[in-house]
Amino acid sequence: MERFFNLRELGTTVKTEIVAGVTTFLTMIYIIIVNPAILSAAGVPFDQVFIATIASAVIGTLIMALFAKHPIAIAPGMGMNAYFTSVVATHGVSYQVVFGTVFLAGILFLLLSFTKFRETLIHSIPASLKYGITSGIGLFIAFIGLKSAGIVVPNPDTMVAFGDLHQPVTILTLVGLFLTLILIARKIKGAMFIGMLITAIVGYFMGLLEFDGIVAPPPSFVFFDLDIAGVFSHGLYTVVFAFLLVTIFDTTGTMIGVAEQAGLMKNGKFPRARYALMADAVATTVGSTLGTSPSSAYIESSTGVAVGGRSGLTALVVAFLFLVALFFSPFVSAISSLSAMTAPILIIVGCYMMEGLAKVDWKTFDEAFPAFAIILTMPLTSSIATGIAIGFITYPLMKLVSGKAKEVHPILYVFGFIFILQMVFFPAH
């Protein structure tokens, strides 16, 4: 094992890698609770999502461990799960159709992993749009958290308003939120998971939570009959592109960031990048057939790197722990049914995703406005795809009228034109 993962060359040990794997797992374990809670709101059976979440995490993380050999964990990504639910609600389609869009995005991602077009696409899209997309998703999922907790409620005059703080679920959400914020501020490992557990205990004594058990054999699951034809009949091309684009950017950015932190970058290049991206693409594709939204590399992997994780052995430990979690479905099912458990996580993760805004050149208007347009439209339209489309239309247009047309990669003009045609003549319905 030491030789396979080159532990000596990387300056690490088996013990260090195991500790790093456990640390990473504890910081991202919330996904096996939050993901089923979010997707079950779209009608997807809870047990199906629970199994699919763990299966895609295990598959993706194992590929990362054994082939890419990096200390990076893969699991269904936050933001994409919330977007999945909104597509079902706003477009009036079945979740089988939306899983069809995830499957197509996964296949495209897999194909792009073997071509140079992936690098071309990544490099052609300006930083302001990338940061705008990430931040827009952050606001989007934070808003969902506020809404599910009753902190923000519908209002016929102003569209939204402040909720009733006397509601038990709202009170518990605020308790859980502030408790988790304190744990994070104190730099406690696994802060979000610990915060959820304490919130669950408080919720139990408030009578908001009931347990039918803690441990049980893994639930059975079946492969979905994906409605790929429905993707085309409902014109969900932008949704496919949104899943693909966000997954590529999120995964690539996270992988590079964690690799730099671990000192694994060589001459500015990410070693075995093809296998690393393949891990995400395969997890997304397989996950769609089992019942979960797109997968992504987890920034929480940086916590494992911080305690010494440097090799694929860290990821291997994470994959093993996800398998163990299969036997705790009754516990996960109970606590995920209480929105006060998941809402604080959505709000906090939304905050983390705003970091890139500091890197946007706000003094250059033709850079700032497209990013602003994305950030504004994503939460207000409840559509990540619409936000991306607006950004891809306004950016080349702003540069063109500013006399900076040559600064824009030709592929952006192509995408901008396609998005205009799609929004005008082929709107999703």
User: Nearest 5 degrees, angle CA 383-CA 46-CA 178?
Assistant: 65
The string of pLDDT tens digits covering residues 178-199 is 999 999 999 887 788 788 889 9
Q: Which run of H or of E encompasses 297?
A: strand 295-297
Q: What is the mean pLDDT of residues 53-77?
A: 94
Q: Tell me the C-alpha distance between 351 and 360, whole Å.
A: 16
pTM: 0.76
105 assigned to some structural domain: yes
Q: Tell me the C-alpha distance between 238 and 160, whole Å.
A: 27
Q: Give alpha helix (H) positions in 186-325.
A: 191-205, 228-233, 237-262, 273-290, 301-306, 312-324
1 assigned to some structural domain: no
Q: What is the mean pLDDT of residues 86-90?
A: 86
Q: Tell me the C-alpha distance between 168 and 208, whole Å.
A: 8
Residue 69: which region, alpha, beta or left (left: phi > 0; alpha: psi -120 to 50)? Answer: left
Q: Comparing 78 with 119, which gets the higher pLDDT?
A: 78
For the ranges 40-44, 124-128, 282-286, the lowest mean pLDDT is seen at 124-128
2 assigned to some structural domain: no
The 3-class secondary structure across 152-183, one letter per residue, is: EEEECCCEEEECCCCCHHHHHHHHHHHHHHHH
Q: Tell me the C-alpha distance between 285 and 159, whole Å.
A: 37
Domains identified in the chain, total number? 1
**Residue type (1 letter), 315:** A
Domain range for 236: 7-425
The string of pLDDT tens digits covering residues 22-45 is 888 877 888 998 899 899 988 999
Q: Tell me the C-alpha distance between 329 and 27, whole Å.
A: 19
Q: Tell me the C-alpha distance between 102 and 265, whole Å.
A: 30
Provide the 8-state DSSP code for 266: B
Beta-carbon contacts of residue 222 (< 8 Å; ≥ 6 apart) = 48
Describe the crossing of helices 117-124 and 410-425 by its angle, rounded to 10 degrees. 80
